[in-house]
Amino acid sequence: MQSVWGYNRSQAKPPFISFNYLNDNGLHGFCLFFCALFGLSAFDDKIEMSRRMNETLEAMVRAIFKDWFVDFGPTRAKVEGCEPYLAPELWDLFPDALR
């Protein structure tokens, strides 16, 4: 059954733009706005999730950068004889002493 909005009511969601049964009485803009709302919330959720993931990854990169290049963490740990906390192939890249 077609509704006045131009989509089948049994469908899960309406199409974004449908002008099948609209006339020129000013409902065009409302239809575009109404139909667009169905899809924008999903994009908003994806954008928010990507933003939070970006913040998490940036915090991780900052922590690694500070440990390796500011505090010289792996080199200090090797000098002090601590257990390796990196993969062996990475651990071998750092010098055994500060010169």
Q: Residue holding tokens 């928010």?
A: 48
Encode pLDDT of 67-98 as tens digits. 999 999 999 999 999 999 999 999 999 998 87
pTM above 0.75, yes or no: no
Q: What is the rounded CA–CA span in Å between residue 35 and residue 32? A: 5
- Report the 10 Å Cβ neighbour count for 2: 11
| Residue bearing the bigger pLDDT, 18 or 87 | 87
